[in-house]
Amino acid sequence: MHTRTLGNTGAGISEIGLGTWQLGSADWGTVDPADAQAILTRSVELGVNFIDTADVYGMGHSERAIGDFLKTTSAELHVATKLGRRHDEPHGWPQNFTLETMRAHTEDSLRHLGIDSLFLTQLHCIPTDELRRGEVFDHLRTLQSEGLIQHWGVSVETVEEGLLCLEQPGLASLQIIFNIFRQKLVDELLPVAQAKGVGLIARVPLASGLLAGKFNTATSFPETDHRHYNAEGQCFNIGETFAGVGLANGAALAEAVRDTFPDPGDHTMAQQALRWGLDHDAITTVIPGASRLDQAESNAAVSEMPELPVDTHTQLRALYDDRIHEKIVGAY
Ligand SMILES: NC(=O)c1ccc[n+]([C@@H]2O[C@H](COP(=O)([O-])OP(=O)(O)OC[C@H]3O[C@@H](n4cnc5c(N)ncnc54)[C@H](OP(=O)(O)O)[C@@H]3O)[C@@H](O)[C@H]2O)c1
């Protein structure tokens, strides 16, 4: 597993990380606790040392699963969580952005994880106006000076939000939706972040599974799965579900992506799609989520894959310009 330095943190993090929204057992159906531990254990055995979670993934369930795992390992791991979307009383949305609330939510994350200080916390897709007002960044600097967090970053939905955050001194990382269906960022955000030395964490790298090439228009998802209940963006930003292209368009476009990839040899389509993200050197880590052990194993192996040919990148960019861009719904 190769590592890349995450922004100003000085930490060498694995270029394939583990996304653990799935381990919240809420928005992707249920993941058995034993399977969750197996996914974490095997990922770390394979060199993954960066784990992304959030306080709202199963309302602490994902963080607690990671906390249980941390008790079993002596590996040096970098766990990143997020805050800002809790809706429980008395500190719930939209009062999430006071220093008092952010401190209380950070302390809860520390308790769930069983640690004293967070490696990285990230604002979790909070309203653009809050980013514009900017007090949240002062609150993060305060939590940093208090030692509750070591570094801070922001998970954003749009280029506009990313550029706003990049104006903030001390920003360690931006977490972005970045995959073959969302290439606008290549021109509009990656170069700016790279020039400022800010780490980039690429989420939804498989477009919620579409870029594994395994879905078609007849595929259905359980009611508890966001690919069922957020397919039209009813609950949160549509970009988080199928990268905003929808299941029907996405399945057809995934076929076109598959046709563009070179002969995969021993590699799967999902691995090639993840490799596309890693081939951008502005990206620090790509964080696929896994609901099964074999997915986590296959994803970790991408670090050792050769880069995709330059021609393939060129063709995928043309595919994006000609057919994909127009299909994306929602601000991006
Ligand atoms: N707002 C935010 O900050 C935010 C939002 C979204 C995600 N995230 C973070 O980013 C991480 C990654 O994004 P994501 O999980 O939403 O989307 P993703 O990584 O694009 O897709 C994950 C899904 O793809 C399928 N998959 C994964 N590996 C596979 C493989 N090797 N072969 C075949 N299928 C595979 C699985 O689907 P099945 O379960 O159907 O098998 C898995 O649940 C999350 O876990 C979370 O940590 C953050």
The residue assigned the tokens 């719930």 is: 92
The ligand 1 site (C-beta within 6 Å) comprises 19-22, 28, 52, 82, 124-125, 155, 175, 203-209, 212, 214, 240, 270, 287-291, 295, 298-299
Q: Tell the CATH superfamily of the 3-215+268-308 domain.
A: NADP-dependent oxidoreductase domain (3.20.20.100)
Q: How far is the CA of 142 from the centre of ligand 1 (A)?
A: 32
Contact status, residue 330 vs residue 28, Cβ threshold 8 Å: no
Contact status, residue 262 vs residue 309, Cβ threshold 8 Å: yes
Residues facing residue 153 across a β-bridge: 122, 173
Closest CA to 178 of 283, 248, 257: 283
Its pTM surpasses 0.85: yes
Q: How far is the CA of 133 from the centre of ligand 1 (A)?
A: 31
Taking residue 93's Cβ as centre, other Cβ atoms within 10 Å add up to 15
Task: State how far the Cα of 239 lies from the Cα of 99, in Å rounded to an integer.
Answer: 29
Q: How far is the CA of 19 from the centre of ligand 1 (A)?
A: 7
Strands 173-177, 50-52: pairing is: unpaired
DSSP-assigned letter for residue 213: T
DSSP secondary structure string, 105-147? Answer: HHHHHHHHHT-SSEEEEEEES--HHHHHH-HHHHHHHHHHHTT
In tens digits, the chain (332 residues) has pLDDT values of 999 999 999 999 999 999 999 999 899 988 999 999 999 999 999 999 999 999 999 999 999 999 999 999 999 999 999 999 999 877 788 888 999 999 999 999 999 999 999 999 999 999 999 999 999 999 999 999 999 999 999 999 999 999 999 999 999 999 999 999 999 999 999 999 999 999 999 999 999 999 999 999 999 999 999 999 999 999 999 999 999 999 999 999 999 999 999 988 899 999 999 999 999 999 999 999 999 999 999 999 999 999 999 999 999 999 999 999 999 999 99
Task: State how far the Cα of 139 lies from the Cα of 135, in Å rounded to an integer.
Answer: 6
Domain-wise residue ranges, the chain = 3-215+268-308
